[in-house]
Structure formats: structure tokens, C-alpha cells
A and B are shown apart, each in its own frame.
Chain A
Amino acid sequence: MDNIFKNNILPLKDMLFRLALRITLNRQEAEDVVQDTLLKMWARREEWGNINSLEAMAITICRNQALDYTKKAGRSNMSIDEDRDCHVSANDPSVQLEQKEGLSMVRTVIDGLPEVQRSIMVLREVEGQSFAKIADELGMNESQVRVYLHRARQKIKKKLSTL
């Protein structure tokens, strides 16, 4: 049990953190969500033998926890990096400002997407997972995953083309 937790479940913490961060949009809450998720996983250790994918189980718990936190906090849209400087490479302050605005706008669009689209974006774009794996983790089929991701990307593209 100890080894399974240390080697297979605990290493999921960063992926779960990024997923929770994209849903809650708050670093402290995202950390709390991951902690709650891992403690719940540990509490259900007797079920591990009967479960096909511990990762899928952890992701499901994490998403539910994150949504609970968001509901309790009563907010939905806020930038995850609102208190941090954006990464910009150009030295010209006007270009920096432009890039900051562009980045901020993209984040606002992403953060305004439905939760399932945001989760799929994290798993695909950030974690680099296959459609099959994402479908398995989120309990849907591959074509549904593609449809959700397609909608999310189209929304972002549309917003960018209006700039």
C-alpha cells in the first residue's frame, strides 16, 4: 500500500495541481484540492485493487473537489496568474504591454471556458496525453473529447482573430 501510494499516486500531485489550478484559478485552493484528493485516495486504499486506473480515480476526485471549492467561493472567472508577471521576451515596454494584454486576454478566454473543456485542455496541452487516455480518465469516448477540445480551440482562435 505504502509503495503504491509513494510511487504511483503521489507523483500525480503536479498534474493534479495544474488541473485544480485551471479550475479554481487560485493557487492556495488548488493546493488544498490536491491535498484533499490525495487524502481521499489514501482513505480509499482498500479499493485500489479493484480499480483499473488510479490516475483516472484521482482526476475524478480532483475535479469534483475543485468544483466544490469554486462553488463555495462563489466565483468562476479570475486569472490564475493575476498576481504574477507575465513572461515576455521583448525589451520594448510597448511590446511588453501588448504581449501582456494578449496573454491576459488568452487566459481570460481559457478561464471562461466550461470546466470540462478546461480540464481537457490541461490534460492535452499541458500534460500531453492522448485522446484515448483523456477519454478513459474523464469517462467519455474519444470523439467526445475531440469535440470538447475542438470547441475550446475554436473559441480561442475566434477571440484571437478579433484582435
Chain B
Amino acid sequence: MDYKYIEQLLEHYWECKTTIQEEQILYAFFSQENIPESLAQYRDVFVANGKLAGEHLDEEFDKRILSLTVETEKKVEAKRITLYHRMRPLYRAAAMVAIVLTIGMASQHSFVNDSTSSPTLWAEQNVEDPDSEFTQLPNSMENTSAKASEIGQDSLSHHPVK
């Protein structure tokens, strides 16, 4: 068998003058089992590169990469929060402030010794006999209305109707 063509290709290969197609011919030739002795010494170059061409990563690698990239972003997108949820901490803070202020004001009132702050306390301190105060109430109301009618008549007499 004539291997001149292969020898010629090999010469071009070492000089980097081969095309990709010609190099594929060389790879195909040296992947055969029966190589002539004169060319056998070059076989290992093509076998070594051919072996590397068979190396690849498995599907588990793809899954791992996708879980660290594309799928992570999708998960983040799925947890999109509304305005209400976004403002929820603010509402909570406002509620806490309101509660603290209410409690603070209430405690301040209870500790200050001010008689006017509580109507019940004022009544206890100023009304000695509640029953007599109650019976005097109609009389004081009558006096008030009589005084009002007098004032009304005086004002009419100052401005007679023409």
C-alpha cells in the first residue's frame, strides 16, 4: 500500500501547512490498528490528542451550574414582594411607637398629682354633700332663666319697634 499521501500530509502537518480537513484525515489514519512501521512513531501524537477529545463533563455538572445560575435567579424572581409586604416593617415600627407613646402618656397622667385631671377626683374633693347639691340644681337653673328673661326685656326696651 502506498502511504506517500499520508507522508506528504505529515510533512505539511509539522510545518503547520495542513488544513483542518487534512488534519482530520491524519487523525482518521492514525486511529487505525495497522500502521506501517515507518509511520508508527508519529501515532502517539494523534492518539494523545484524540484521547483528550473524548473528555467531557457529565449532566450532573450541568444541573449544578444551572442551580447556581439561572435557577437561582428564577427563585429570587418568584419571591417578588408587594408594596404592602415591603412596607410591613414600617407599619410594625409605627404601631410600636404608638403603643409606647400611649403607655408613656397614661403612666405620666397617673403619676402627676393634678386634681383637674380626673372628674371623679374633682367631685370627691369639692362636693361635700352630693344630695343637697342635686336638690339645689333646679333652683339655680330657675334663677338663671329669670335673669336671662330680664336681660332680654331690657334689650327690647332700649330698641323699641317702630
Chain A interface (Cβ < 8 Å from any Cβ of B): 1-2, 5-6, 10, 13-14, 17-18, 21-22, 31, 34-35, 38-39, 42, 80-81, 86-87, 89-90, 99, 102-103, 105-107, 110, 121-122, 124-126, 128-130, 146, 149-150, 153-154, 156-157, 160-161, 163
- What are the residues of chain A within 8 A of B14 when measuring CB–CB? 153-154, 157
A10: which B residues are within 8 A, CB to CB?
A: 62, 65-66
Contact with A along B37-78 (1 / 0, CB 8 A): 000011111011101110111000110111011100110000
Complex alpha-carbon distance, A35 and B69, angstroms: 11
Shortest distance in angstroms between B36's beta carbon and chain A's nearest beta carbon?
14
Q: How far is the CA of A113 from the CA of B42 in the complex (A)?
A: 18
Q: Residues of A contacting B65 with CB < 8 Å? A: 10, 13, 35, 38-39
B151 contacts partner chain A, Cβ-Cβ < 8 Å: no
Supposing A13-B62, A38-B69 touch, asked if A80 and B47 sit within 8 A by C-beta, the answer is no
Contacts of A81 in B (CB 8 A): 51
B contact residues vs A (CB 8 Å cutoff): 13-16, 20, 23-24, 33, 41-45, 47-49, 51-53, 55-57, 61-62, 64-66, 68-70, 73-74
11 contacts between A and B (CB under 8 A): A6-B70, A10-B62, A10-B66, A17-B57, A31-B57, A34-B57, A35-B65, A102-B41, A110-B48, A126-B53, A128-B24
Cross-chain contact of B55 among A17, A86, A125, A149 (Cβ < 8 A)? A17
Measured between alpha carbons, how far is A6 from B73 in the docked complex, in Å?
A: 14
Report if A14-B68 is in contact (Cβ < 8 Å); known contacts: A31-B61, A156-B45: no
Closest to B35 in A: A89
Question: What's the dominant secondary structure at chain A's contact region?
Answer: helix
Shortest beta-carbon contacts, A-B, top 4: A42-B69, A106-B44, A14-B56, A125-B49
User: Which residues in B have their C-beta under 8 angstroms from that of A18?
Assistant: 52-53, 55
Nearest-neighbor residue (CB-CB) of B74 within chain A? A2
Q: Is the CB of B52 within 8 A of A122?
A: yes
Q: Are B62 and A103 in contact (CB under 8 A)?
A: no
Which among B41, B55, B64 has the greatest number of chain A C-beta atoms within 10 A? Answer: B55
- With contacts A17-B57, A87-B47, A87-B51 taken as known, whether A149 is within 8 angstroms of B42 at the C-beta atoms is no
Cβ 8 A contact of A2, one of B24, B41, B55, B70? B70
A149 to B56, CA, bound (A): 24
Instruction: Report the Cα distance A36→B53, complex, angstroms.
Output: 22
Partner of A163, one of B15, B41, B55, B66: B41
Other contacts beyond A81-B51, A128-B23: 13, CB < 8 A: A2-B73, A13-B57, A17-B55, A18-B55, A21-B52, A42-B68, A89-B33, A99-B44, A103-B44, A129-B20, A153-B13, A153-B14, A153-B16
Q: What is the bound-complex CA distance between A95 and B20, given in angstroms?
A: 31
A17 touches B56 (CB 8 A): yes
Q: Which residues of A contact B24 (CB under 8 A)?
A: 128
In whole angstroms, how far apart are the Cα atoms of A31 and B60 in the complex? Answer: 12
Which residues in A have their C-beta under 8 angstroms from that of B55? 14, 17-18, 21
